[in-house]
């Protein structure tokens, strides 16, 4: 399918019919998930007071959700390998909605942790399948942009969904925030059912075939880039509030505005990164890792002044630009095990979240200061760059193998 470019008279490939509506519906699901994942971080004092525990103990519900993402992504992707794409997306979003409604009714600490774990289970598989659907419907050469539009729901949640839900939670109680997330998820269920084409699963899809992704070295190397190289962003952002207050001397009232800059950086990075990935996928991944190392190292200097610290927080948010590129790379190297590989990307990002926050905390606890998280982040980005170089070298070796044992086109990519 082609369309005429009225500006220059050239023709460009057109998206599949209903592409815009489908991507919007998928993005609303991402918006719901992003809001549900991040809103709890701003409501921990209210949660702790209500369920009768300390704020650090209340923070365990964040870890419980992340664990649900890490475990749920591969398990659900394998078990649901033969389901039609739309039916699977609807089911996953319905489970997410129920998990949030149930979280709002949790009577205590243990039940809330269990329910947040359950709410996290559909997260990775939803984004993985949504990315596959968007890439299928996109015009040739625009897969990363389509994936970026789906992920725009997740990054956009940091700008709109999280502040709205947090304000509602402070006004009506933290439980109201989870009710709002559940309602957004139900809206996504309706939109996906009405707007996403009923695409079948790949011919011959089965749990055993999906597990074949785990036998591909390039899949593991790409996941390693995400789990390690992306961890630097979380090393800094996990402790950005006390750093802004203690080091930059930023007034407490200005912290929400600076956090909003982080969200704006995520949206900007997502849009720009996806366009760059469509032009040069592997070069974009390498460039984004180098950019991350530079921006995170720079934070150790800029964090000492409110204005430069705020600008650097925006730049830290742009590191998310690597997300769509890694998602498309996994599609390229997964062969016929697309669903599992795509879902595992979000497991890897949650490993990055945990790893970055933990190592940043280790540096602070060792007495290296709040700004040491910048060095930790830069080192993680450089480690990701090392894995990236390993992936390139491995792909080149496979490309040079004799014709009797040819490398797949996907593994030769890049």
Q: Along the chain (414 residues), what's the average pLDDT of each consecutive run of 10 residues?
A: 41 62 93 87 79 79 86 86 88 96 94 94 91 86 84 82 78 90 96 90 64 79 93 85 86 81 89 90 94 96 94 94 89 77 83 85 87 94 96 87 50 42
* Run of H or E including 28: helix 19-38
Residue 12, phi then psi, degrees to nearest 5: -135, 145
Long-range own/partner contacts, residues 403-409 (CB < 8 A, 24 or more apart): 408/333, 408/335
Tell me the Cα Rg of the chain: 21
Tokens 């999906």 sit at which residue?
210
297 token code pair: 């190292």
Q: What is the pTM of this model?
A: 0.78
Q: What is the CATH number of domain 206-399+406-414?
A: 1.20.1250.20
Q: What is the CATH number of domain 12-201?
A: 1.20.1250.20
Exposure string over 306-342, b if 16+ CB within 10 A, otherwise e: beebbbbbbbbbbbbbbbbbbbbbbbbbbbebbbbbb
3-state secondary structure of 409: helix
pLDDT of residue 24: 93
Residue 204: exposed, middle, or buried by beta-carbon count in 10 A (0-12, 13-18, 19+)?
exposed
CA 108 from chain centre, in angstroms, equals: 29
Query: 341 and 213 in contact (C-beta within 8 Å)?
Result: yes
Query: What is the rounded CA–CA span in Å between residue 268 and residue 279?
Result: 17
> Within the chain, which residue ranges are assigned CATH 1.20.1250.20?
12-201, 206-399+406-414
């Amino acid at each position: 399918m082609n369309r005429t470019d009225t500006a220059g008279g050239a023709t460009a490939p057109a998206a599949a019919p209903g592409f815009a509506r489908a991507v919007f519906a998928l993005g609303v699901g991402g918006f719901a998930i992003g809001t549900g994942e991040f809103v709890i971080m701003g409501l921990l004092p209210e949660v702790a007071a209500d369920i009768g525990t300390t704020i650090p103990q209340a923070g365990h519900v964040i870890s419980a959700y992340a664990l649900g993402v890490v475990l749920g992504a591969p398990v659900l992707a394998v078990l649901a390998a033969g389901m039609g794409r739309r039916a699977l997306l609807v089911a996953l979003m319905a489970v997410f909605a129920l998990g949030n409604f149930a979280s709002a009714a949790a009577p205590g600490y243990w039940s809330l942790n269990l329910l947040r774990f359950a709410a996290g289970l559909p997260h990775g598989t939803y984004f993985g399948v949504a990315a596959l659907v968007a890439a299928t419907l996109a015009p040739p050469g625009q897969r990363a942009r389509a994936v970026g539009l789906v992920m725009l729901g997740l990054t956009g949640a940091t700008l709109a969904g999280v502040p709205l839900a947090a304000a509602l939670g402070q006004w009506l109680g933290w439980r109201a925030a989870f009710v709002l997330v559940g309602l957004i998820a139900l809206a996504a269920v309706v939109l996906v059912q009405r707007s996403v084409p009923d695409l079948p699963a790949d011919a011959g899809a089965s749990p055993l075939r999906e597990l074949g992704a785990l036998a591909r070295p390039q899949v593991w190397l790409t996941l390693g880039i995400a789990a390690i190289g992306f961890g630097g962003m979380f090393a800094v952002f996990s402790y950005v509030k006390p750093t802004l207050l203690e080091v930059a001397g930023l007034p407490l009232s200005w912290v929400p505005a600076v956090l909003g800059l982080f969200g704006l950086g995520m949206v900007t990075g997502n849009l720009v990164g996806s366009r760059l990935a469509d032009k040069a996928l592997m070069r974009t991944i390498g460039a984004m890792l180098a950019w991350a190392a530079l921006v995170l190292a720079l934070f150790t200097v800029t964090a000492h002044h409110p204005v430069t610290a705020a600008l650097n927080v925006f730049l830290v948010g742009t590191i998310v630009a690597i997300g769509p590129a890694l998602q498309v790379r996994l599609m390229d190297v997964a062969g016929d095990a697309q669903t599992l590989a795509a879902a595992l990307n979000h497991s890897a990002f949650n490993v990055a979240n945990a790893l970055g926050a933990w190592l940043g905390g280790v540096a602070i606890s060792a007495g290296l200061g709040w700004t040491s998280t910048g060095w930790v982040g830069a080192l993680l980005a450089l480690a990701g760059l090392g894995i990236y170089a390993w992936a390139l070298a491995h792909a080149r070796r496979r490309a040079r193998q004799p014709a009797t044992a040819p490398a797949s086109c996907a593994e030769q990519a890049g």
